[in-house]
Structure 1
Amino acid sequence: MRRALLLLLAAVTLPTVAADKLEPFTASYTADWKQVPVSGSASRSLKQLDNGRWELSFEASMLVASLKETSTLQVDNGVFLPQTYHFERSGLGKSKEIEQDFDWTQKKVLGSDRGDPISVTLNRGLLDKSTYQLALQHDVAAGKKSMSYQVIDGSEVEVYDFRVLGEERVETQAGTVDAIKVERVRDPTQSSRKTILWFAKDWNYLLVRLHQVEKDGKEYQIMLKDGTVDGRPVQGAKS
């Protein structure tokens, strides 16, 4: 379920954003699992904290399972710098908890993954499994057609690749929005999983839809119910 709801995502370039371009947002979604006749819910938000950092949060629940993911980050000279990352999943006998602290002075990521210690060398450009989603959102807004990110996954650093497929209109409960369609690029000889994301052009490229097919053929989707961008309610065209 986590893979379905999270992106809920060659040489790797630094994901950048101007500090004044970050806009707080909130979004709530329906979460559907094709093989289960019960819908779940999900929410995502970005807010600025009193210390100048930003907090990116994601929560989801479906049946008896739930998860919560929270990152704090700073923007330094246009570069995302993760500060902390916390992930917690419960239910269905698959409990999991991850803690990561990004020490930019010592150039280390320290923490734990299901009780196992984490110690990874920290380089500028390394992102956690939540912050890279924000970087993707802003790179799509900047007009990039292909993107790569270094992402810490457990005690390993992986490269996540994406490419823009084009534009598409998406019908949501908030109305019909013009969106940019993006695909996670995977080696088909290594993985049969598929992930497609849609970002709303007129709403600071807020994620409005995600569709995923797992390697076992199971399908998942989240779809925007409502949201705000910099305090403005998301309103698409009415059908």
Structure 2
Amino acid sequence: MRHLLVFAFALFSLPALAVEPKPFSASYTADWKQLPVSGTAERSLRHLDGDNWQLSFEASMLVASLTEQSTFRVENTALLPLTYHYERSGLGKGKEIEHDFDWSEKQVIGNDRGTPVRIPLNRGMQDKSTYQLALQYDVAAGKKSMSYQVIDGDEVETYDFRVLGDDVVRTKAGLIDAVKVERVRDPTQSSRKTVLWFAKDWNHLLVRLHQVEKDGKEYQIMLKDGSVDGKPVEGRRD
């Protein structure tokens, strides 16, 4: 469930925003193939003040819950993370991570499950939430392949993606024209598979995610309803 609910990526160079940030909110169903019940997930972006924004994600299922929140600012068409907080409970041991991005001192300070974290902060690094906007905007810009760096706990990891093409996603809000994207992994290192769909007509809002873990477990989140810049998301009807 952890890998279904959180996707994290970041650019080597600061991502120029091809799409102007617009407030959004979205509700999803969260299904775990091995469980007979569905969960829910909420994702939102809201403007705080000036160039500052807040990106939030909450998910819950019968056996677990997760919250994730980032603040960031937009500076000269670049996205700079400021704070990051992640907390998971249930489904085994709980987990909590906090990061503060100090751009003046060029370092990330925080903790990962109680262990202090101090990582050099280089241009382009993102947290495990703000990646979503970097990827979203790169897809909107028409890029076909993307490579990101991300602060993941006490490490910096690289994530690669490629666009597979256009697709149509059937959601409770209607049929949504989308861009289909997959995470690129070395098959000799990982058998995990992740595919994401971004709505072409709705500022490339995430409308679906499907993941298969290396043990064969499958997860999916699917859009129920949402709004972008105050306008309700509506797809085509049959």
Deviation at 1:51, TM superposition (A): 4.8
CA contact (8 A) 1:8 1:210 kept: no
User: Does the 8 Å contact 2:24/2:230 carry over to 1?
Assistant: yes
Q: Which moved more, 1:60-69 or 1:46-55?
A: 46-55
* Alpha-carbon shift at residue 8 of structure 1 (Å): 7.7
State the partner residue of 1:126.
Answer: 125
The residue aligned with 1:54 is 53
Cα deviation for residue 76 of structure 1 reads 1.1
CA distance in 1, matches of 2:76, 2:100: 21
Query: Tell me, what secondary structure is at the counterpart of 1:126?
Result: coil
Within 2, Cα distance between the matches of 1:161 and 1:123?
Answer: 18
Residue identity over aligned pairs, in percent, reads: 71
| TM-score (normalizing by structure 1) | 0.96
Could you tell me which residue of structure 2 aligns to residue 181 of structure 1? 180
Alpha-carbon distance in structure 1 between the residues aligned to 2:181 and 2:205: 13
Distance apart, 1:40 and its partner CA? 0.2
Matched residue, 1:17: 17
SS of 1:134's equivalent in the other structure is helix
What amino acid maps onto 2:5 in structure 1? L
- Corresponding position of 1:34: 33
* Distance in structure 2 (CA, Å) of the matches to 1:6 and 1:235: 25
Structure 2 partner of 1:83: 82
Q: TM-score, with normalisation over the residues of structure 2?
A: 0.96
Which residue does the alignment assign to 1:112? 111
Q: CA RMSD in A?
A: 1.4
The answer (yes or no) to whether the contact 2:51–2:74 under 8 Å persists in 1 is no
CA contact (8 A) 2:56 2:68 kept: yes
Structure 1 residue 50: Cα displacement: 2.7
CA distance in 1, matches of 2:135, 2:23: 16
C-alpha displacement at 1:93, in angstroms? 2.9
- 1:165-180 matches, within 5 Å, as 165-180=164-179
Q: Deviations over 1:135-171 (max 9, x none)?
A: 0001000100001111011121111110000000000
Structure 1 portions without partners, runs of 5+: none
Asked if the contact 1:180/1:198 (under 8 Å) is kept, the reply is yes
The number of equivalent residue pairs is 237
